[in-house]
Chain A
């Protein structure tokens, strides 16, 4: 079994290597040149990051008591987070209505196949193309970004959800079907609660994805931090671009930590209550520390 697995992985790796060679026209020297160019570009143009993006901008004048809230980095990031949040929630609502209809273990093929085709069609356009379409239709600004990412979220999240539903243990569905529950009741009372752990994880992943993609759709004028990144790129201010990229990276890490924390409420990991450093250090009044208790 192991040998067969190694053979399959080896064959796929060889195929990928041959295709890469074909795409690079056999000119492997370009990879070496590209790496040295990257080092030069990073050390001479991007480093050190210019943190002036977190200082209050000169125009319009800052009226807030907290300076950072008037900075390009803060304004852009908050707008990106708003776009990502609204589009993730709206997209999730659309996806959760459609995905139970697309799951083969919940619906007949006469319903599931058309819904799958619809989700594929929505997903086949990347959020950037949706953004261009909405910028043309309703103009520049965050609203175009929200609509673009909502559509993409419905398609992407819908597929993740129906694949999760199809992969679930059939026992609860069979018990529900045998007892005479309707398809809607099975979806809302059995399938969605049973997969809540995965759905929550996918929701937060999609939010993180939309935060990252919020930077891309800004390039076509659909709002967010991408708008400022594009401006800095145009004027070759790579140090500021790098600072904004670090900001996005930090936000993505924070979202990942929130995801880890939120998921612990709906999985087995969260059931194992271990004392945290926070609990040990900030003990409640009248409560003994472990050291005191041992005395």
Chain B
């Protein structure tokens, strides 16, 4: 595995106008980054720019992952195919890194069921996604990423609609992937979830970007409260 999965240099994010000052950083294997900040500040735009879905206004963002399947992306609306079954959605992730062979289908099916079992959704494999609740859809999106086994996961508020026990269950399902060296960058509104799991915090506030350790971020918050 590469030592650096993502390198960003002087990146300026935004659509027409810059949303933050230039950002420079790297992300290595096994990191869990929580992106925090108020609504509309540019957290999703940052994630979409890293995923190469939005052109940056300046600077560079480079992914050092495999082109096919190296990056997993869970958008805010989860990006699930609503009219297809749960298994079909997870199979999209499972199949992306597989080379075609006669045994591919059996292997893919096995990987799909393993991923669904990890998030407790194996009993819903043949159900259309549109019939699931919001929390179940989040678990399916997580299973799709688990089946894909990407090196870097970009997740936009994928824990936000879950209660504490479900958020813990989803993160526990993701942890084996992270211990193998994959990294997770998640945009979170729920600070409790973010602080529980993150090893690093990116904060966007009033057009300023800060890259902090969890302890440094907590100290800064306490300092702000006492002032």
Which positions 163-200 of chain A face chain B at CB distance < 8 Å? 169, 171-181, 185, 189-190, 193-197
A86 within 8 A of B: no
B220 within 8 A of A: no
B48 CB contacts on chain A under 8 angstroms: 174
Residue of B nearest to A173 (CB): B79
B79 CB contacts on chain A under 8 angstroms: 171-176
Asked if B71 and A175 make an inter-chain contact with CB atoms under 8 angstroms apart, the answer reads no
B74 within 8 A of A: yes
Asked if B88 and A180 make an inter-chain contact with CB atoms under 8 angstroms apart, the answer reads no
A169 CB contacts on chain B under 8 angstroms: 77
Asked if B83 and A197 make an inter-chain contact with CB atoms under 8 angstroms apart, the answer reads yes
Known: A193-B81, A193-B83, A271-B130. A180 touches B70 (CB 8 A): yes
Q: Tell me the complex Cα distance, A195–B73, Å.
A: 21
Residue of A nearest to B84 (CB): A193
Asked if A178 and B131 make an inter-chain contact with CB atoms under 8 angstroms apart, the answer reads no
Interface string of B49-81 (1 = CB under 8 A from A): 001110000000000001111111111111111
Interface string of B83-113 (1 = CB under 8 A from A): 1100010001100100000000000000000
CB < 8 Å neighbour of B88 from A173, A177, A181, A189: A189
B83 CB contacts on chain A under 8 angstroms: 193-197, 266-267
B66 CB contacts on chain A under 8 angstroms: 180
A268 within 8 A of B: yes
Asked if A174 and B93 make an inter-chain contact with CB atoms under 8 angstroms apart, the answer reads no
Q: Tell me the complex Cα distance, A185–B81, Å.
A: 13
Q: How large is the interface on B (under 10, 10 to 19, 20 to 34, 35 or more residues)?
A: 20 to 34
Asked if A174 and B51 make an inter-chain contact with CB atoms under 8 angstroms apart, the answer reads yes
Asked if B81 and A181 make an inter-chain contact with CB atoms under 8 angstroms apart, the answer reads no
Q: Tell me the complex Cα distance, A179–B81, Å.
A: 14
Residue of B nearest to A194 (CB): B81
Q: Tell me the complex Cα distance, A171–B128, Å.
A: 17
Asked if B81 and A172 make an inter-chain contact with CB atoms under 8 angstroms apart, the answer reads yes
B178 within 8 A of A: no
B128 CB contacts on chain A under 8 angstroms: 271
B76 CB contacts on chain A under 8 angstroms: 171
B82 within 8 A of A: yes
B81 CB contacts on chain A under 8 angstroms: 172, 189-190, 193-194
Asked if B96 and A181 make an inter-chain contact with CB atoms under 8 angstroms apart, the answer reads yes
Asked if A271 and B131 make an inter-chain contact with CB atoms under 8 angstroms apart, the answer reads yes
Which positions 96-128 of chain A face chain B at CB distance < 8 Å? none
B142 within 8 A of A: no
A286 to chain B, nearest CB (A): 28
B154 within 8 A of A: yes
B96 CB contacts on chain A under 8 angstroms: 179-181, 185
Most chain B CB inside 10 Å of its own CB: which residue of A180, A195, A266: A180
B148 within 8 A of A: yes
Interface string of B114-155 (1 = CB under 8 A from A): 000000000000001011000000000000100010100010
Residue of A nearest to B88 (CB): A193
Asked if B69 and A190 make an inter-chain contact with CB atoms under 8 angstroms apart, the answer reads no
Asked if A178 and B92 make an inter-chain contact with CB atoms under 8 angstroms apart, the answer reads no
Asked if A179 and B148 make an inter-chain contact with CB atoms under 8 angstroms apart, the answer reads yes
B80 CB contacts on chain A under 8 angstroms: 171-172, 175
Asked if B84 and A178 make an inter-chain contact with CB atoms under 8 angstroms apart, the answer reads no
Most chain A CB inside 10 Å of its own CB: which residue of B69, B83, B88: B83
Residue of A nearest to B73 (CB): A178
Q: Tell me the complex Cα distance, A95–B198, Å.
A: 48
B71 CB contacts on chain A under 8 angstroms: 178-180
CB < 8 Å neighbour of B154 from A172, A173, A178, A189: A178
B28 to chain A, nearest CB (A): 20
Asked if A176 and B92 make an inter-chain contact with CB atoms under 8 angstroms apart, the answer reads yes
CB < 8 Å neighbour of A171 from B70, B77, B131, B144: B77
A272 to chain B, nearest CB (A): 10
B150 to chain A, nearest CB (A): 7
Q: Tell me the complex Cα distance, A151–B150, Å.
A: 44
Asked if B75 and A179 make an inter-chain contact with CB atoms under 8 angstroms apart, the answer reads no
- Since A171-B79, A180-B96, A271-B128 are in contact, a sample of 19 more A-B pairs with Cβ atoms closer than 8 Å, ordered by chain A residue number, is A171-B78, A173-B79, A175-B73, A175-B75, A175-B78, A178-B71, A178-B154, A179-B72, A179-B73, A179-B150, A181-B96, A189-B81, A189-B92, A190-B92, A193-B83, A193-B84, A194-B83, A267-B83, A271-B131
- 12 A-B residue pairs with Cβ-Cβ distance under 8 Å, sorted by A, are A175-B73, A175-B79, A175-B144, A178-B71, A179-B96, A179-B150, A189-B92, A193-B84, A266-B83, A267-B83, A268-B130, A271-B130
A residues contacting B by CB (< 8 A) are: 169, 171-181, 185, 189-190, 193-197, 266-268, 271
- What are the 7 closest A-B residue pairs judged by CB atoms, nearest first? A175-B79, A178-B73, A180-B68, A171-B79, A171-B77, A193-B84, A178-B51
